[in-house]
Amino acid sequence: MATTMKRICAWCGESMGEEDVGAGVSQERVSHGICPMCVRTLDLQLESISDMHQLTHEEYDQLPFGVIEIDGEGVVLNYNDWESRFTGFAKDRVRGLNFFTEVAPCTAVRSFLGEFEGMVAAGRPDRRELDFTFALPSGQREVHIVLTWQPEPGWGFILVREATT
Ligand SMILES: [Zn+2]
């Protein structure tokens, strides 16, 4: 029996269909990408979006929203240009630190870290949205957050855009 992998747009949550990944994959698999509609809407300079994990550092830096890639412990693997401009934190300084405790301690609360820990503990690919107020050195900023988690390979994304009211 063939196994399929669902593709979900990390940004809007829409399904991007399924891909046959062959036999030998037992668990339900979900991959987070960015759908063609979001590519157009966000005017991304990217040709075809499949998996966010396939993006290069340069492509992350083209995205018009914040991208923080973390492992299951919350250690920052990637921090894109938009997020660096938004927070004023240099990318090199942030990589390797724990996002929740060292980079943005304001997120070490149930409504943010708790949500992420819940996704990791569940062991399934997941995506959640939340509204949050960042306490930045420059002041408080209202943001809309998308959290994603993929147990394989054990990476999550925190996507950030400023809330518009
Ligand atoms: Zn989308």
Q: What is the pLDDT of residues 108-165, one digit of tens each?
A: 999 999 999 999 999 998 999 999 999 998 899 999 999 999 988 899 999 999 997 6
Q: How many angstroms does the Cα of residue 156 sit away from the middle of ligand 1?
A: 17
Q: How many angstroms does the Cα of residue 61 sit away from the middle of ligand 1?
A: 18
pLDDT (tens digit, 9 = 90+) per residue, 78-90?
999 999 999 999 9
Give pLDDT, residue 41.
83
* Count of structural domains, the chain: 1
**What mean pLDDT do residues 32-38 have?**
87
Confidence category of residue 74, pLDDT binned at 50, 70, 90: very high
Q: How many angstroms does the Cα of residue 18 sit away from the middle of ligand 1?
A: 15
CB-CB contact of 151 with 66 (8 Å): no
How large a percentage of the chain has pLDDT more than 90?
55
Picking from 10-19, 99-108, 139-148, which range would have the lowest pLDDT averaged per residue? 10-19
Confidence category of residue 48, pLDDT binned at 50, 70, 90: low
DSSP state of 121: H
Which residues are close to ligand 1, an ion, with C-beta < 5 A? Answer: 9, 11-12, 14, 35, 38
How large a percentage of the chain has pLDDT more than 70?
91
Which residues form the domain of 108?
A: 3-162
Q: How many angstroms does the Cα of residue 32 sit away from the middle of ligand 1?
A: 10
Q: How many angstroms does the Cα of residue 138 sit away from the middle of ligand 1?
A: 30
Residue 61's CATH number: 3.30.450.20
Give pLDDT, residue 16.
86
Q: How many angstroms does the Cα of residue 93 sit away from the middle of ligand 1?
A: 30
Give pLDDT, residue 66.
96
Distance CA 82, CA 57 (A): 12
CB-CB contact of 60 with 76 (8 Å): no
